[in-house]
């Protein structure tokens, strides 16, 4: 997969290239990361990428010309999606990461900055994405989150694909508790069922724990899961 990031702070993405399994995926050629700085596409001698907002107001607004030029200079692969990092976007879901990991050959991630971006920049994007109901100084952190989340789903990044299938949010529920040795630690015991060797009982216990944990911690997710189960 090809990942192209349009950002005024391209150096923010360098750590991804050496970050554990994600860094190894880049090193193995499973994914390729390219950064594009709109400042390199500014046409004036000051390499200006922002300006005052029409109508007045605080802050500076990212100009459309350098961003358009940066995006239009990126090679286009057949299955491409352009994502705009924006607090006005749809909240990111695990299903989005899986959809992009399996259904695209290229993701272009546009990072905003300053007070915001010129409204015309929105027309470049296929989707607007948000990490939640809060505002950051730029779109670099959300873009890095998406890159991490997508690359870890690509075949070859994680050794055991079953790990990806059983984790939180993959099936609509939070993940069940995990334990390892020792069986007893500071008077906290590993549940007997996990030491029983009865794989059927273990599977039932884990599903029960998933439902209980989701109902307690994320009742919204649990209600959605129950609705999906009723429709099956």
Q: Tell me: the pLDDT tens digits for 71-111?
A: 999 999 999 999 999 999 999 999 999 999 999 999 999 99
Instruction: Please give the model's pTM, rounded to 2 decimal places.
Output: 0.87
User: Which domains are delineated in the chain?
Assistant: 2-151 (3.40.1280.10), 167-231 (1.10.1270.20)
Beta carbons within 10 angstroms of residue 29's beta carbon: 8
Enter the tokens of residue 202.
Answer: 């273990």
Look at the block and give the residue holding tokens 């029960």: 208
Q: For residue 165, what pLDDT band results from cuts at 50, 70 and 90? A: low
Which own/partner contact pairs does 190-196 have at CB distance under 8 Å and 24+ positions apart? none
pLDDT of residue 162: 55
């Amino acid at each position: 997969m090809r990942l192209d990031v349009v950002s005024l702070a391209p150096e923010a993405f360098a750590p991804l290239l050496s970050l554990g399994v994600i860094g190894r995926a880049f090193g193995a050629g499973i994914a390729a990361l390219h950064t594009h700085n709109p400042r390199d596409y500014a046409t004036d001698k000051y390499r200006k990428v922002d300006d005052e907002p029409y109508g007045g107001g605080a802050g500076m607004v990212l100009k459309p010309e350098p961003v358009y030029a940066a995006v239009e200079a990126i090679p286009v692969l057949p299955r491409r999606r352009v994502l705009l990092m924006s607090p006005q976007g749809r909240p990111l879901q695990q299903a989005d990461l899986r959809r992009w990991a399996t259904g695209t050959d290229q993701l272009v991630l546009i990072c905003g900055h300053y007070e915001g971006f010129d409204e015309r920049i929105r027309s470049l994007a296929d989707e607007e994405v948000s990490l939640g109901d809060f505002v950051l100084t730029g779109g670099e952190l959300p873009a890095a989150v998406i890159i991490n989340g997508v690359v870890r789903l690509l075949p070859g990044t994680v050794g055991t694909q079953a790990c990806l299938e059983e984790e939180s949010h993959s099936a609509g529920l939070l993940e069940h508790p995990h334990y390892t040795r020792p069986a007893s630690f500071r008077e906290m015991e590993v549940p007997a069922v996990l030491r029983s060797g009865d794989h059927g009982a273990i599977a039932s216990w884990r599903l029960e724990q998933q439902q209980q944990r989701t109902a307690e911690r994320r009742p919204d997710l649990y209600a959605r899961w129950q609705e999906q189960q009723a429709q099956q």
